[in-house]
Structure 1
């Protein structure tokens, strides 16, 4: 039995052919991944099998798929291509099985070695080194394909060859009619992936016209409603939503309306979701009312909304209402029903593709409807050139020819803003390729919007195209989070890199920014993104039957070969879905969380064993507050699972020990519940785990072996073995936010040093917290904090409950290693005196928060913080006076009892009041003791509030 040849040992022709394969068609990421796996650790029973795969099957497959792309009769080959894709997916599962077996054997061998070491400890250093060497040899022993896996792999190769032969026969017959130009994405220059800022051009007059209508007399109506409707209609991509957003932003600054709400309606909307969104926005007054998601009854939501809106003059923007003749026409009028209690002069601004859609609002609703005006030719040219060159008016002779070509291209885009941003974005990332611009100028593909978008899509890299097509699984205008989307791409195997050391998330971010730069995804506010409706149509076309959605009002039959499925409610998960044995992705967005129970999960785990991604996301239910959800042991059967997200409103969610068998698992996200993990669960087996979130108490021993971790929001130090702070030592890929709790269990500086926080270069936010009942002396706490020096590029630091007598040197001296670019500093319940050196080291602070600390003054050096924008002081009882504050300060909040200091800040003419006069916004002086990190510090744009903003 021969071992697999490494890639570098293949002949040049084979390597060249393999490189050609991996850049030709949508399945190329799978081919590349299969080859990477095979070349890494597979062994075949005969060398001829490998030779046949690399030099015959894959090259013929690449040439066949290239020929398929070039013939007019591609529909004749759809079934064959579908079979080829199916065979390749099966081959991928075979290699996943092999990797699973390999990992299991490795863990088993390690366990045996550990038992041997416990029986006989090495006495000398040389013996210890020999023991370690023996372990490496034993653990990394070779693994060959089992007889069953080998047979399955051969069957799939035979199947591929059979369909290649069929395809070649059809291609030969179609050859005479296949002479036509193909669209290829050739770019010999390094592209720019930065996206230009979204731009509103030529709409000021339209905005002014609409604002005048909004303030005008109420339109005639037969029923004395407090509101009337202004409607804007136009074809997709014409800028309706952009214009409505422009109006919305303007009206916020004018303060004519008491309340401004933005709601995206879409084709298949839910009244419950829309009412929740409206209530969230209407409740942005920071009242103590329960959050909107705590109400599940539609009637209760409607009543609460009426309470919030009553008597207020509101502006409600209803974006993208549809004219749906088959839908229940009573739904839209009910959507407007709670609004009748609003104040006189309220208005609704609605957008739609079709003028007739506004009639569904009801016959007694007064409305003024008009088509969105086309942009003036010169205005559109400026907009297009902004996206294509960003600064088209710059005096740059090298751009003169591009400006001339761009003017001719713009004429072909029918003055559609979406086409301007999409086509312009493709040109922008190729500013150094004049030849490419000339070719675009003469293409007929730009005669209509759809052609322009499809042309732009064809010029994306293959992997980027596949990631974009995957976005079609989500409902229209769904708010998408960049990191979650990238994590899904990684889990699905869409991210490809030839460098084993290159971070897949970083590659994914590159893909995402290419989509952003070319407007395939667009900013949606509050660090969220959306796919424009026209782009969504394009993604659906590109995805074909691979992606499918089941939503209210959509009755299209689920394709049998669907790979990625989104279901709008658990009640729609029918027997038909459980028969989709090749399903890779199941995302369920639940409105009735009572349907998500142990029996439901049992059926998912038993029937859909090939899942790579499972997301079950449920809203709150009034009756589930004290519930208990027990995840069944059968979850261990999902051996291909890479992404698990469960968001359920249950008091406790229990995970079985079989979770430790999910060796491929990369993402574990558990939210809206307290998580209980079986104590005998060996999560240290999950060496591929990259992201953990929502697990408030990550009770897992020996996580130090999870060296792939990028995200670990919370780590609790315990006295038990396996929970020491040293478990963080080798987790140097950690990124973003990390909170370390119960540092009172760290007894020495040496223990703290073992965490090696400074080596975690990707951390940007760090919370260090001592519990209140710690037995650790103040001096030991000081030594521990000194050893917990964060990485240089940390942005936000919060220290809670520290009772040490002094600051660590890395906070007081610029000469010490430590964070030098801190933007936020928060000290809560610390026994520290004020230190002027703090603001000499952290000169770049944007936010400063001091809470329940022993401060009797703010150091005078605070005035030198020329970037400081926000200052929060909570319950600092000894504070008496304010120093001179920086001119950059915009927000000042003082929270505490109504003592003399608080009174002095309110008293006009008092020195403390004089220090606050320059603020753009008046200081906020509250009586009470809120949370130290108040909600307003993390406010979202009220127009972007979503019932379920994440994936």
Structure 2
């Protein structure tokens, strides 16, 4: 039995019983004739559950070839059903639009509905909708074919199940997690962890953090280490434990291996024994847990302890969480006590209870040299490195180590096997040429099984991207939604919100890990071990065309990534069932032209995701005109077109026919040309455009919009500020340009910004326009943002007054603003009322404005971290600054002020000594 086979079986079993398939079958069931419905019910309630159990059983893999063919057929049939229902919804949408166009005066639009065959008429039709939309022709024939295929596969599945069940004789062996109890004793050699140990030791001595974060009744704080299975969390904790026992800073050190299933009473007994003077004396038997707890409190009273909780688990059922109970006796200890915990899941530390100060960080990968040293220790031990035979083994071992992805668990397991064969060079060579990560990946497979099926599917999709590819959280969630991987229980619930929760769980369980910021945006990576696991569970669904690789494309592939546009060959156009095509190329190639796109639009009609991304920006390619045949992609939900250099992008009017479109991402430095009216795209939720001065016309009808990076007000039809009125699902950041074209307060109020409660950032930009300062003041008054706004930027405003919502005169406006940025607001002076209203400010920036002093009440801003002034402030009037300030930056018009600030005895300079970063730059 191979690990890939087991992984495939578990993955397919989960997919078959996923909510996505259940919902699809339920939907089809309601529209089928009685005999067809009975067949599907049998599939849903009997055959599929039995098939799931069989696939999860290791013995069933003996028949994996039979299963693979059967499952491939099932997937194809399910995908066809999904496409048929998708096309049916497309027809419904088209009819609805036709009805709107033919009868504008109707107050209530008639909703088309699917009916059963009893209501629809002829008995030879399996699925019908209202008489004007009866399914006939190719669509109905496809549905019948899918149903017939499923019936045939059900019979085949029953035969395979019977064969598998008879051969397995009731035994079920799946990839399991074997919990090995740990102790505080570290392994003989710990390498590459000195820096981590010293960091934790410093945190163990830190009492200032405890006093600032813990509630009064907590004498301890928590340090949490999390990471994937086998990454070295326990070894690091043991290393710290040994160091602390030698240092004698704590009265005693208690080591507890918690794991997933534990008894509170048993843990209390272990703590009691560890806290006893006589370590060999067993804990007395107490019939009452309450009595045992009180006795343990006596042991801990006024003692400064270090409690290590190894391998704690996150319990999603809040009612079943026992970790707070586990820590209950700890309150008797001396302030300054610490708890060091390890977990595979970052969220587990929050289960320790409210009011517990917790400092959490992921365990770092070992560097290559430290890992090689660790591996050689397990493989060769303390032998003579000058021995000629050993030198050969070390040379081979170095190549083996490179294949182990810096996994300490793999170093221990593979190295242990090699150590038994130190005299067998051939064994080492054979090992060098094998896939060595099965055992490590097997441990991770158990963690994968603990995820919900929909999260598993989202995770396995990640392998469409190359290894070590930087992932953008928001973009990835949009792709998951477009692919239909996310199903919500409530129709009103945003799938993006659910998708963000899925992403957070993958991050918390270390299936993903954060990377350094890329252009100021957080990015994420998938650890190589996790990537290997994803490849094993994904099967043939995803395929990549990568540079230097040529593999045969599976016929049932659904998602393709092309790393070089020139590799997008005719082979792709044969994949009629392809759902995803992502072309991500650093150079412009001949593939990105109208001819290539024409083939995509005509051949790959089932695409749901199309991404064409060319990163080379310094090329002028003139114009790229998207063919009108893009309107054939009736299933398309995610369209991203990023063209290089100064190539102008022209979109055809048929773009309006993409009724399912949810995300439109466009990038063209030379500009865009849009269709005149995109109001038909009522499912559009995200618009992202990086282009030269273009905005969508008539966006007011796109009431599902959640993302709109900017909107420019113009004196043109379709670009008025009233277009914003009903876009109340907008979230994140919004930039409104051209506010000089708004003529009155009433006109500004039509934007209805206060109703956009999910906005977190707002930029109001006035540059341009011919309105007077008095009118601009009225307009700003009318642009009152929602109360939950976190960031506000005002640029180019010529009014001399602050609106009432900025100085607390009226009840509306943001109350918890973190960032305030004013640029080229030449008539706006300093106002003490600002700091009375925005008491939660963390960052204040004033650029090219007439602030000649800073109000005294700035010292009351206890959250202020960053203060920036550019060519607008006289240093001599600097008041007392808040102690929370960490960064003070100023540009001065007069060089003399800067020179005086360099004098140590300057009184205002003395006031800045608590600032961690202080910079003065003369202009």
TM-score, structure 2 as length reference: 0.68
Aligned-partner Cα distance in 2 for 1:91–1:645: 26
Deviation track 1:805-845 (CA, whole Å, cap 9, x = no partner) reads 21111111176222111111001111212100101111111
SS of residue paired to 1:528: strand
Pair 1:487 & 2:487 matched:
no
**Contact kept? 1:80, 1:163, Cα under 8 Å:** yes
Q: Cα distance, 1:897 vs. partner?
A: 3.7
Quick check: 1:661 aligned with 2:677?
no
Unaligned runs of 5+ in 1: 1-21, 118-130, 187-200, 212-241, 247-352, 354-370, 412-419, 433-443, 928-951
Q: Secondary structure at the match of 2:158?
A: helix
In the alignment, is the contact (CA less than 8 A) between 1:598 and 1:631 conserved in 2? yes
Alignment of 1:102-181 (within 5 A): 102-114=92-104, 117=105, 131-133=106-108, 135-136=109-110, 142=130, 143-178=133-168, 179-181=170-172
Aligned to 2:782: 787
How far apart, CA to CA, are the structure 1 residues paired with 2:438 and 2:557?
A: 33
Q: 2:537 aligns with which of 539, 542, 545?
A: 542
- Please give the alpha-carbon distance, in whole angstroms, between the structure 1 residues aligned to 2:874 and 2:347: 60
Determine which structure has more spread, i.e. the larger CA radius of gyration: 2
Residue 512 of structure 2 corresponds to 521
- 1:151-203 Cα offsets, whole Å, 9 max, x none, are 211210111110111121122122222222365999xxxxxxxxxxxxxx999
Question: Using the alignment, how far apart are the partners of 1:841 and 1:707 within structure 2?
Answer: 32
Report if aligned partners of 1:782, 1:808 keep a CA contact under 8 Å in 2. yes
Q: Given the alignment of the two structures, is residue 836 of structure 1 paired with residue 832 of structure 2, yes or no? A: yes
Aligned to 1:321: none
TM-aligned CA distance change 1:203 to 1:495, over 3 Å: farther
Aligned counterpart, 2:578? 583
Q: Count how many residue pairs are aligned between Structure 1 and Structure 2.
A: 692
The separation in 1 between residues aligned to 2:741 and 2:88, in whole angstroms, is 42
Aligned pair partner of 2:41 in 35, 39, 55? 55
Q: What does residue 92 of structure 1 align with? A: 82
Would you say the 8 A contact 1:640–1:662 is kept in 2?
yes
2:815 paired with 1:820: yes
- Partner in structure 2 of residue 859 of structure 1: 855
Q: What is the aligned partner in structure 1 of residue 645 from structure 2?
A: 650
Q: Tell me what 1:893 maps to.
A: 889
Whole-Å separation in 1 of the counterparts to 2:84 and 2:76:
13
For the residues of structure 1 that align with 2:135 and 2:690, how far apart are their CA atoms? 37
Give the 3 Å change call, closer, same or farther, for CA 804–601 of structure 1 in structure 2. same
SS of 1:669's partner is strand
Q: Mark the runs of 5 or more structure 2 residues left unpaired by the alignment.
A: 1-11, 115-128, 178-185, 201-229, 244-253, 274-306, 313-340, 354-412, 414-436
Match of 2:427?
A: none
In the other structure, the counterpart of 2:597 is 601
Provide the C-alpha distance between the structure 2 equivalents of 1:667 and 1:63, rounded to a whole number of angstroms.
Answer: 36
Does the 8 Å contact 2:25/2:44 carry over to 1? no
Higher relative contact order (CA 8 A, sep 6+): 1
Q: Which among 796, 818, 837 is matched to residue 801 of structure 1?
A: 796
Aligned to 1:716: 712
For the residue of structure 1 that corresponds to 2:644, the secondary structure is strand
SS in 2 for 1:723: coil
Structure-2 residue corresponding to 1:506: 497
Instruction: Return the offset for 1:628.
Output: 2.5
Q: CA deviation at 1:396?
A: 8.2
Cα deviation for residue 883 of structure 1 reads 2.2
2:669 aligns to what SS in structure 1?
strand
Structure 2 match to 1:360: none
Matched, 1:533 2:393: no
- C-alpha contact 2:468 2:527 (8 A) present in aligned 1: yes
Q: Deviation at 1:650?
A: 3.0
Shift in alpha-carbon separation, 1:783–1:96, aligned structure 2, 3 A = same
> Within the alignment, does 1:848 sit opposite 2:839 as a pair?
no
1:523 to partner: Cα distance: 1.9
Q: Secondary structure at the match of 1:538?
A: helix
The alpha-carbon distance between structure 1 residues 888 and 428, as it changes in their structure 2 partners (threshold 3 A), is: closer
What residue in structure 1 maps to residue 666 of structure 2?
Answer: 670
Cα 1:761/1:878, change in 2 over 3 Å: same
2:238 maps to 378
Give me the whole-angstrom Cα distance separating, in 2, the residues matched to 1:203 and 1:850: 58
Q: How does 1:155-554 map to 2 (within 5 A)?
A: 155-178=145-168, 179-181=170-172, 206=191, 375=235, 378-379=238-239, 400=268, 448-526=439-517, 527-554=522-549
Judged with a 3 Å threshold, the aligned counterparts in structure 2 of structure 1 residues 608 and 447 are, in CA distance, closer, same or farther, namely closer
**2:171 and 2:731 mapped to 1: Cα distance?**
49
Tell me, in whole angstroms, the C-alpha distance in 2 between the residues paired with 1:157 and 1:402. 60
Conserved in 2, the CA contact under 8 Å of 1:832 and 1:855? yes
Q: 1: distance between equivalents of 2:748 and 2:176?
A: 53
Matched-pair contact (CA < 8 Å) for 2:92–2:112: no
Residues 1:378 and 1:464: Cα distance change in structure 2 (over 3 Å): same
How far off its partner does 1:876 sit? 2.1
Q: Distance in 1 between matches of 2:485 and 2:670?
A: 32
Change (3 A) 1:449 1:386: farther
Residue among 733, 736, 743 paired with 2:732? 736
Query: Per-residue deviation at 1:901?
Result: 4.1
Q: Is 1:704 the counterpart of 2:564 in the alignment?
A: no
Following superposition, the deviation at residue 719 of structure 1 comes to 2.2
Corresponding position of 2:62: 73
- Alpha carbons 1:584, 1:611 under 8 Å: kept: yes
Take 1:824 and 1:760, find their aligned partners in 2: how far apart are those partners? 18
Kept in 1: contact 2:650–2:674 (CA 8 A): yes
- Flag the 1:918–1:137 CA change in 2: closer, same or farther, 3 A: closer
Alpha-carbon separation, structure 2, partners of 1:710 and 1:791: 15
Preserved CA contact (<8 Å) 1:725 1:754: yes
Question: CA shift at 1:686, angstroms?
Answer: 0.9
The answer as to 2:552 corresponding to 1:557 is yes
TM-score normalised over the length of structure 1 = 0.66
Is the 2:20–2:487 Cα contact (8 Å) retained in structure 1?
A: no
Q: Does 1:615 align with 2:611?
A: yes
User: Distance in 2 between the 1:81 and 1:139 partners?
Assistant: 32
**Alignment match, 1:572:** 567
1:489-524 alpha-carbon deviations (Å, 9 max, x no partner): 100000011210111111112211221222111222
| Aligned CA distance change for structure 1 residues 867 and 547 (closer, same or farther; 3 Å) | same
Residue 911 of structure 1 and its aligned partner are, at CA, apart by 4.0
Q: Contact between 1:743 and 1:768, CA under 8 Å: does it hold in 2?
A: yes
